[in-house]
Amino acid sequence: MNLKGRSFLTLKDFTSDEIEYLIDLAADLKDKKKKGITGKSLQGKNIALIFEKPSTRTRCAFTIACIDEGGHPEYLGTNDIQLGHKESVEDTARVLGRMFDGIEFRGFKQETVEKLAKYSKVPVWNGLTDQYHPTQILADFLTLKEQFGVLKGLNLVYVGDGRNNMANSLMIGSSKLGINFTILAPEELWPSESLISTCKEYAATSGSTITISKDLSSVAGADAIYTDVWCSMGEEDMAAERVSLLRPYQVNHELMGKTKKENTILLHCLPAVKGYEVTEELFEEHAEVIFDEAENRMHTIKAVMVATLGETK
């Protein structure tokens, strides 16, 4: 499958076959790395890593994935370049596009990563914005496939802030790949009606369902429960309000019991604030899978870079 030259900004832009291709490529690259085999797909390529928001997994994953494939990653923090301050995003993009072969962006506005892609004319990869987090979804789905062998027909329930970038992106990815997806959240934190409508259209094609609920019993039958921090980066001033709203939606043994299944797994994109969105005891019981998921960020990000920029030999 040829994805050369494509940017990776949101899963809306990719077909189910293309998403599955990236997941399968990541699994192959992971297997090779476990055997000590790295590639040269990005040899001679220079990759700009722009970070408005700090990160552990995203920065490390892009850096190591790039080096594994022979490329050179260059970290550009908020104090390193003039992006959106002394220089417009458009002009910064045009400069970087003439010097780098690919650009990763992790920051606030989806509009910024879209402008970088439009004006740089090189592949741009979304490492996280306030609206979407597509590379994380690939890692989540690789983890689900490792655990269950399939994706289509699985029941995935996201519990917590139902309108953040993770809930949005999981809903898009699930509806594209035929995963039955439920958002369990208070009504104040439900996703936008327009995105729900779009994802229901995707789900009608893939044969899955989209459910938005505030009823804790909606976790029944879940193969996986997914949670995330109650306050996203930049929303710290809303912490008290979020805790009040979301305390009933903590993922704990009582909630897991409502799945009526013994093999339900817990997923978390990390970092976790244990004692809030998830109890420490339950987190530790599922830590092996959660940290498989964290490692899979590297393999899936590598797949995205190889597929959209790499040279196959």
Annotation-wise, does 244 bind a ligand?
no
Does 133 participate in catalysis according to the annotation? yes
DSSP string across 165-201: HHHHHHHHHHHHHT-EEEEE--GGGPPPHHHHHHHHH
Q: Annotate 88-102 with b (16+ C-beta within 10 A) or e (fewer).
A: ebeebbeebbeebbb
Q: Select from 57, 301, 8, 298 the least CA-distant residue to 172.
A: 8
Is there a binding annotation on residue 232? yes
Pairwise CA distance, residues 146 & 255, whole Å:
24
Question: Does the annotation flag 270 for ligand binding?
Answer: yes
Q: Is 59 a catalytic residue?
A: no
Distance between CA 74 and CA 86 in Å, rounded? 21
| Annotation marks residue 268 as catalytic | no
Would you tell me how many other CB atoms lie within 10 Å of the CB of residue 133?
Answer: 27
Cα of first residue to Cα of last residue in the chain, in angstroms, is: 15
Q: Is 194 annotated as a binding residue?
A: no
Q: Is 250 known to be catalytic?
A: no
> Is residue 250 a known part of a binding site?
no
Q: Which residues contact 79 (CB under 8 A, 6 or more apart)?
A: none
- Which is the catalytic residue, given 59, 268, 286, 297? 297
* 257 CB neighbour count, 10 Å cutoff: 11
The length of the chain is 313
Is 131 annotated for ligand binding? no
| Residue 169 assigned to a binding site | no
- 136, 140, 242, 299: the active-site residue: 136
134 is in an annotated binding site: yes
Is 13 catalytic? The answer is no
Distance CA 195, CA 179 (A): 16
Quick one: tokens of 211? Answer: 């459910």
* 227 annotated ligand-binding residue: no
* Residue of 6, 59, 66, 106 with catalytic role: 106
Q: How is the beta sheet containing 180-184 ordered, strand by strand? A: 210-213, 180-184, 155-159, 224-227, 265-268
- Does residue 106 have a known ligand-binding role? yes
Q: Is 312 annotated as a binding residue?
A: no
Single out the catalytic residue among 66, 269, 286, 299.
269
Active-site residue, from 59, 68, 131, 133: 133
Q: Active site residue: 68, 161, 223, 228, which one?
A: 228
Residue 135 among known ligand-binding residues: yes
Amino acid at 273: V
Strand order in the sheet with 124-128: 72-77, 46-51, 102-106, 124-128
43 annotated to bind ligand: no
Residue ranges of the binding site for carbamoyl phosphate: 55-58, 82, 106, 133-136, 269-270, 297
Residue ranges of the binding site for L-ornithine: 165, 228, 232-233
Residue ranges of the binding site: 55-58, 82, 106, 133-136, 165, 228, 232-233, 269-270, 297
Give the catalytic positions in this structure.
Answer: 106, 133, 136, 228, 269, 297
